[in-house]
Chain A
Amino acid sequence: MNEQHLFAITALFDTPEEIVHAAQEASKAGYTRFDVNTPYPVHGMDKAMRLKPSRIGVFALVFGLLGVFSAVGFMTWVTLVNYPLVIGGKPFWSWPAFVPIAFEVTVILASVLTVVTMIVLYFRFPNNAHPLHDTPYMKRVSSDKFGINIQADDPKFDEKEIRAFLGRIGGKEISPIYFDAEEFEHGQKLFDPKFLGVLAVTALVVSAMTYVVFNKVLYMEPFSWMSAQEKLKAQQPSELFKDGIGMRPPVEGTVARGFLPYAFKGKPDEAGRFLANPLLSTKEVLERGKSRYMTFCSPCHGNFGRGDSRLQGQFPNPPTLHSDKVRNWPDGNIYHVMTDGQNIMPSYATQISKDDRWAIVQYIRVLQRAQNAKESDLK
């Protein structure tokens, strides 16, 4: 058996008013190393014990600022450096969009890290040894009594005097609490290799067991009759073929229906010369052309083909469609630009069907006529 040290003299009270009074008296009597234990928070206790405001708020501020700066910093890096992306035509660095995320990260970092700090610094995690633990006193104050304990390291500590003082202010069941110095001093430390090792092993074992239990032991294939079939699925390898590829490429020269290769790739002049618009300038065609134009062309070329869209200045500006060159082009040339691309404009053949491209050509002709009407149009 180890030597037993005196930790504190305790006394019990029946009501919250009594314990507040006891705390006031204790601080009035000049005791500084005393504490109060109650089954629930008692209002006005801070003042009665003459406690200084907690400094935990400083930690909250630091962690909160950490949250703001890390969130804004991360989003800045993502949107400006790592993956700049135009979203809704807004600038890359759009601070209003960052505010909710910065707010959330601030709140979560400030609250979680402050609690962790409190547990580590004030409760001395992972050391959970405390002389009051597992004492009859603790059992009473965590059910229906209000207790005060004046500790032995108080500069004014004098056992007899304190017993008399506690009796005078109405304390009941005045009793001492002893502790085992061995247990207390050799408690667990946070950066103890043994502790961290146990923590790591626990994490590994729990993860491994979770994996085994859910993926091996308890794994059941639900109604697999149709889903598990002896056939190759897309992207799966196959041993049947020499190259091991399950998905066979089509035979060279195969042409899919509706996907005839474009004959004038890289030959705009030939396209202009040989291609004719199969569509007439009817109302339906023009309306179709207008709707496709507004969807695919107007974001860069502008609603009226003047090259004055709102994206102006972010890329090399697209030229106007009203220049003499474009106006004098045959239909095939315009069709060719849409199909094959030109300068930085990519091919739109995959997005816009053949007929729609020709309809757009008709609509562009209407736009050009509207901007540069002929004499005859005015009659």
Chain B
Amino acid sequence: MSNPAPDMGLRRELPERVTRLAWILLILGVVLYGAGYLLDAKRAAFNNVVGFLFLASVAGGAIFLIALEYLAGAVWSVPMRRATEFLAALTLVVPLLAVPLLFHLHDLFHWTHGEAVAAEKVLAGKAPYLDIDFFIIRFAAVFLVWNFFYFLFVRNSTKQDSTRDPKLTTNNVRLAAVFMPVFAITVTLTVVDWAMSLEPNWYSTILGVYYFSGTVLAALSAATYAIIKFHENGYLPNLRRDHFYSLGALLFAFINFWAYIAFSQFLLIWYANLPEETFWFIKRWKEGWEYVSILLIIVHFVVPYFALLTQDSKMDTKRLKLMSIWILFAHLLDLYWLVMPTYGEGIPFGWMEIGFPILLVGLALVVLSYKVKRNNMIPVGDPKLERGLSFHL
């Protein structure tokens, strides 16, 4: 049984160069965003939607992973929970990313044009839901709810560091039970509002689950990367192959889950063959988009599937690091594929598409370095910590 190292759980700062890099990336990202909005507001807004959905999925998925740990009574993930909590802190800043979008709703959403809604029977029927005021209320409500749960989870978890009160774990378990259905609804609302309503005539009942699989993958790979980096640099010294194997296995499971859901969505629409649904896929199967679609299958499923198939590869930290970055990129590509065909004009790929994600990385790193400075790296008061550290497969 491994005993906790003497310096375990101390607050430590990230190295100076990481913090500096984080701020440089953040400022560079803000400058790029500004330039994008000045030069081509419509294109910048569409890219902004991709970036917003990306970081929202990391933040929401991280809260989901915290809740999952409590609800399932998982032991293995306890020593690493703080990394997930740090990522969940993004919930506080993600709404800022959507603020510029609120000023460009007309560029993004066909349904905001009154004359278009009046002319189309389907849109008129959806008008009570697709209403700008209601849209903003929903957006605010989703992030209020996420921040509320994030705040309670993390408050209980950090309080436990000093009080070591096992009742706080029970509280969080109850909270997690409430959060799960709430998360299911809010994550669906997010993707329906920001991605599905870009094509207001289209609907797919499975899109919420589709985005959910992406959120968990994004949060999990971001957490995996952070955890391995922490481990390698001595922030989380007590992790072993068994812990990494569990992370890898969960990643592998959700890779399959994503493919399962993505194919289910395609199969149902292909089978029913209704013009009001198929046009969405047809749009992604012409004018070059078919190559992006095939690339998405390869990048998001085939490559990670084979890269994480064997038992050894799930424990190999080098492989896991590579695959978590890969899957984050794949999720970005997934959202690009989801959002950008509506922008039109072929396959938009230029400095905006490459440059905008810099802001996301910068934002995540700044939040991470800020949280690392103010928190213990390990939940030292968690009653399951001892068992988590000595976790065996």
Q: B392 contacts which of A44, A89, A97 (Cβ < 8 Å)?
A: A44
With A53-B311, A88-B273, A89-B273 known to touch, is A100 a contact of B267 (CB < 8 Å)?
yes
Q: A44 contacts which of B263, B273, B311, B393 (Cβ < 8 Å)?
A: B393
Bound: A350/B277 CA distance, A? 35
Contact A96 B393 (CB under 8 A): no
Bound: A53/B312 CA distance, A? 11
Closest to A17 in B: B1
With A53-B311, A99-B263 known to touch, is A88 a contact of B271 (CB < 8 Å)?
yes
CB of B148 closer than 8 Å to a CB of A: no
* Those of B240-273 within 8 Å (CB) of chain A: 263, 266-267, 270-271, 273
Interface residues of B, count at CB 8 A: 9
Contact B267 A43 (CB under 8 A): no
- Complex interface: chain A residues within 8 A of B273 (CB): 88-90
Bound: A267/B325 CA distance, A? 76
- Complex interface: chain A residues within 8 A of B392 (CB): 43-44
Closest to A97 in B: B271
Bound: A89/B270 CA distance, A? 12
The 8 A CB mask of B84-112 against A (1 = contact, 0 = none) is 00000000000000000000000000000
Closest to A89 in B: B273
* Those of A69-114 within 8 Å (CB) of chain B: 88-90, 96-97, 99-100
Contact A43 B271 (CB under 8 A): no
Bound: A43/B392 CA distance, A? 6
Contact B267 A99 (CB under 8 A): yes
The SS class assigned to the A binding surface is loop
Chain B nearest Cβ from A111, distance in angstroms: 16
Closest to B272 in A: A88
Bound: A290/B118 CA distance, A? 28
The 8 A CB mask of A26-56 against B (1 = contact, 0 = none) is 0000000000000000011000000001000
Chain A nearest Cβ from B50, distance in angstroms: 27
- Complex interface: chain B residues within 8 A of A44 (CB): 392-393
- Complex interface: chain B residues within 8 A of A43 (CB): 392-393
Bound: A44/B391 CA distance, A? 10
Closest to A46 in B: B393
- Complex interface: chain B residues within 8 A of A100 (CB): 267
- Complex interface: chain B residues within 8 A of A97 (CB): 267, 271
The 8 A CB mask of B296-318 against A (1 = contact, 0 = none) is 00000000000000010000000
Bound: A90/B267 CA distance, A? 13
> What class of interface size applies to chain A in its complex with B?
10 to 19
With A43-B392, A43-B393, A44-B392 known to touch, is A96 a contact of B270 (CB < 8 Å)?
yes
Closest to B311 in A: A53
Chain A nearest Cβ from B25, distance in angstroms: 41
Closest to A42 in B: B392
- Complex interface: chain B residues within 8 A of A96 (CB): 266-267, 270-271
Closest to B260 in A: A103
Chain B nearest Cβ from A43, distance in angstroms: 4
Chain A nearest Cβ from B343, distance in angstroms: 28
Closest to A43 in B: B392
Bound: A53/B392 CA distance, A? 17
Chain A nearest Cβ from B167, distance in angstroms: 29
* Those of B36-64 within 8 Å (CB) of chain A: none
Chain B nearest Cβ from A58, distance in angstroms: 13
Bound: A191/B273 CA distance, A? 53
- Complex interface: chain A residues within 8 A of B393 (CB): 43-44
- Complex interface: chain A residues within 8 A of B311 (CB): 53
Chain A nearest Cβ from B313, distance in angstroms: 13
Chain B nearest Cβ from A94, distance in angstroms: 8
- Complex interface: chain A residues within 8 A of B270 (CB): 96
* Those of B143-196 within 8 Å (CB) of chain A: none
Chain A nearest Cβ from B264, distance in angstroms: 9
Chain B nearest Cβ from A40, distance in angstroms: 14
Closest to B273 in A: A88
Closest to A94 in B: B270
Bound: A100/B266 CA distance, A? 12
The 8 A CB mask of A96-134 against B (1 = contact, 0 = none) is 110110000000000000000000000000000000000
Chain B nearest Cβ from A127, distance in angstroms: 31
Closest to A45 in B: B392
Closest to A53 in B: B311
- Complex interface: chain A residues within 8 A of B267 (CB): 96-97, 99-100
Bound: A53/B393 CA distance, A? 14
Bound: A97/B273 CA distance, A? 13
Chain B nearest Cβ from A57, distance in angstroms: 9
Bound: A97/B269 CA distance, A? 12
Bound: A305/B263 CA distance, A? 37
Bound: A4/B393 CA distance, A? 40
The 8 A CB mask of B369-393 against A (1 = contact, 0 = none) is 0000000000000000000000011
- Complex interface: chain A residues within 8 A of B266 (CB): 96
Bound: A100/B264 CA distance, A? 9
Bound: A89/B274 CA distance, A? 12
Bound: A53/B310 CA distance, A? 12
Bound: A88/B263 CA distance, A? 19
Bound: A53/B311 CA distance, A? 10
Bound: A252/B392 CA distance, A? 87
Chain A nearest Cβ from B149, distance in angstroms: 33
Chain A nearest Cβ from B230, distance in angstroms: 25
Closest to A44 in B: B392
Chain B nearest Cβ from A202, distance in angstroms: 41
- Complex interface: chain B residues within 8 A of A89 (CB): 273
Chain A nearest Cβ from B265, distance in angstroms: 11
Closest to A88 in B: B273
Chain B nearest Cβ from A217, distance in angstroms: 48
Closest to B241 in A: A47
- For the complex of A and B, the 3 pairs showing the least CB-CB separation, nearest first, are A43-B392, A44-B392, A96-B270
Q: List 16 A-B contacts (CB under 8 A).
A: A43-B392, A43-B393, A44-B393, A53-B311, A88-B271, A88-B273, A89-B273, A90-B273, A96-B267, A96-B270, A96-B271, A97-B267, A97-B271, A99-B263, A99-B267, A100-B267
Partner-A contacts on B (CB < 8 A): 263, 266-267, 270-271, 273, 311, 392-393
- Since A90-B273, A96-B267, A100-B267 are in contact, a sample of 11 more A-B pairs with Cβ atoms closer than 8 Å, ordered by chain A residue number, is A43-B392, A43-B393, A44-B392, A44-B393, A53-B311, A88-B271, A88-B273, A89-B273, A96-B266, A96-B271, A97-B267
